[in-house]
Structure 1
């Protein structure tokens, strides 16, 4: 693979935004690691931003509107964001999971990319997310005869709309390689889409242990305005049902029956924010809202336990981040959560008594009744450089096979 001219074009709608600096940070971290390995790539961040009518619709539905971003800065290089213009009808269609609107978005992505990048000069396309990015990659691949790979991150598989199944399956089947962030997600694709897994491989997201590492807990708590004399139970993520945010009040209620020394930190925003403010114990809960990514190591060092009550989850990078900082983690036994937690004692069975079960496990951890190694689980297989090496090997394999076939 030549280190002079970019051989791989990577693109995604997932990248840090003004109101959510943690959004898509796993893409940025991956690109940093690829750069350090000397992998020649170009990056095309692509999105559609909210005009006034869409901002109003999102506000009414409890979602945070997006703000326009001009570029993504990476290793002192600026990658201009390619904006896809969609009318009000199609923007509402995206919210309603209408296939025609999502396909139109994918076609708009493909058009924006080919207007700004010379597709024929690349030897491989890599789309992060199966739909719509993967469908845009499929369209560009067929037009320019350039192979593509796609990384499935979660929602486009485990929460797929029936309207989009045919398009997602087509993207998976025609890809030179499909990367899944967890074994569970690849299994989901097989069961829900009759995907045969022949071109599938599992490469999880990673964690930067130079950033996420233990620090003074009291200092972290002071920065986050947290009590020093309590056991802090944290939730970090979008406040939505798929993330299990609606389960937090019941978990808190059950945990307070077991202990009198707990306090809750909720980091994130979303449609359930008002419900949680009403239902969580007022004097024992701190709502931090969205936190800048640079502060996430402080968050993870400030808590004792991170709870992941998700209904679906592709992998759960926050699990690795918490463990690398020395926090314990409990979660539901769904998706890629077991793979990231790595200890079945810390998983709920998803029974009717789920909240009680999670509360019991949190109490065990706080009492140090469960002992296990925290950081060693994260470092070897989840280091970003190790992740990037695996992706580089795939790039070289596919580019090499394509070169042979053209001889």
Structure 2
């Protein structure tokens, strides 16, 4: 199958860590024998986005090629108070035009469109899909459905209802879409995020710690994510009071944790992330909201027990076998869970065993196959 991906971001030679999980899904589909092309329009005059060039030819793990295009478009979104004004319409139309220009210029052929996420990219997908008479799909992987509000809500929902189907990363996201009158149950399917288990697997802990300069004997908690309120780096810091527990933070942001027990607080490149996760004893992410958290899945794939939120967005990937779930805003609950794992070696061993079993259900290859099969089923029904 020939699939055209339309997305608001994608890894490039300028920013290799942006939406890496989407790149991995695309690469997996290509390695399964499908032809995938990516168009990721970037805002004109926004120099932290996109690529240094118009086109990149990227390689998959099996050395297959993926053509990725980064056309420029003009975006003049204003504040949410002006979400219904002509500037928003202009920006969306300019985004659509930039995609169509690449399709025409490069003579791209495709059987369907896959957009990421359910905002501007999905609106563009439905418009372009109607123009070229092909089915359109969108991935609902948002932690918050801000695009319902950053652009005209009714226009967004009207566009989404023209989609052939939506790939939701969680049951909770599916419920949100249905409650907002977006498609019906049969056209929204839950496919939790997956991980490349050939890349993310338990590596030698001592060797992994040597890479980051961690002490071999320390009990280390790992955190991966932006240093922002939603992710909770400071809530984690307040929850760790025992002097023998260290914290390694992988990320950056405004809420920079400070403390004597912090042994690391820098970004980690995607290629080094499996080593980072393999170097820690426990993964803690007191996040307030997610679509389907890739860092949690990656930690489990490396055999690391997890402490995270007890909210519904984690229901599809976490259970009692591999995690302790807490109120992400309750410092005492987070502390109690950490102390339980630290002091109770039997509990830790059970959770670690559960994480290793859970990784078997998180294969990216399986996810890609299931998504492709479901898309093909809907395409056949709509023919």
Shorter-normalised TM range: 0.7 to 0.9
Of 198-207 and 237-246, more deviation after overlay is shown by 237-246
Match of 1:393 among 363, 367, 373: 373
Question: Where do 1:141-160 residues align within 5 Å?
Answer: 141-157=129-145
* Contact kept in structure 1, 2:143 and 2:292, CA below 8 Å: no
Matched, 1:358 2:339: no
Distance 2:13 2:265 in 1: 16
SS class of match (1:341) = coil
Map residues 33-44 of structure 1 onto 2, 5 A cutoff. 33-44=28-39
Describe the SS at the equivalent of 1:73. strand
Structure 1 position 387, deviation (Å): 0.8
Determine the structure 2 residue equivalent to 1:109. Answer: 95
Deviations 1:340-397 (A, max 9, x none): 22228611135x6x111012112212233421321221223x2111111112113322
SS at match of 2:226: coil
User: Could you tell me how far 1:98 is from its partner in structure 2?
Assistant: 4.2
Q: Which residue of 1 aligns with 2:356?
A: 375
> Where does 1:1-400 land on structure 2 (aligned, <5 Å)?
1=1, 6=2, 8-17=3-12, 21-48=16-43, 50-51=45-46, 65-66=48-49, 68-70=51-53, 71=56, 73-75=58-60, 76-77=64-65, 79-86=67-74, 90=76, 93=78, 98=83, 103-118=89-104, 121-157=109-145, 161=149, 164-192=152-180, 196-251=184-239, 255-256=240-241, 259-273=242-256, 276=257, 280-281=258-259, 283-343=260-320, 346-350=324-328, 354-367=330-343, 368-370=345-347, 371-372=350-351, 373-380=354-361, 382-400=362-380
Residues 78-135 of structure 1 show CA distances to partners (whole Å, capped at 9, x for unaligned) of: 5243223326xx26x3799946555544322321111111489433111120011101
Q: Secondary structure in 1 aligned to 2:381?
A: helix
Deviations along 1:55-78, whole A, 9 cap, x unmatched? 7xxxxxxxxx44634326133525
Rounded to whole Å, the distance in 1 between the matches of 2:266 and 2:156 is 33
- Determine helix, strand or coil for the equivalent of 1:34: helix
Shift of 1:246: 4.1
In structure 1, runs of 5+ residues without a counterpart are 56-64
Structure 1 length as normaliser, TM-score? 0.81
Q: CA RMSD in A?
A: 2.8
CA distance change for structure 1 residues 66 and 123 in 2, over 3 Å: closer, same or farther?
Answer: closer
Equivalent residues, number: 369
The CA deviation string for residues 114-168 of structure 1, in whole angstroms up to 9 with x for no partner, is 1111489433111120011101112212333322111111135278537543243
Gaps of 5+ in 2: none
Q: Residue 97 of structure 1 contacts residue 161 of structure 1 at CA under 8 Å; is this kept in 2?
A: no
Q: Which has the higher contact order (CA 8 A, sep 6+)?
A: 1
**Greater CA deviation, 291-300 or 9-18?**
9-18
Q: Give a deviation string over 1:202-243, Cα, whole Å, max 9, x none.
A: 011111111111112122112112222321112101122222
Q: Is the 8 A contact 1:129 1:152 kept in 2?
A: yes
Q: Match of 2:230, SS?
A: helix
Structure 1 residues 289 and 186: CA distance shift in structure 2, 3 A: same
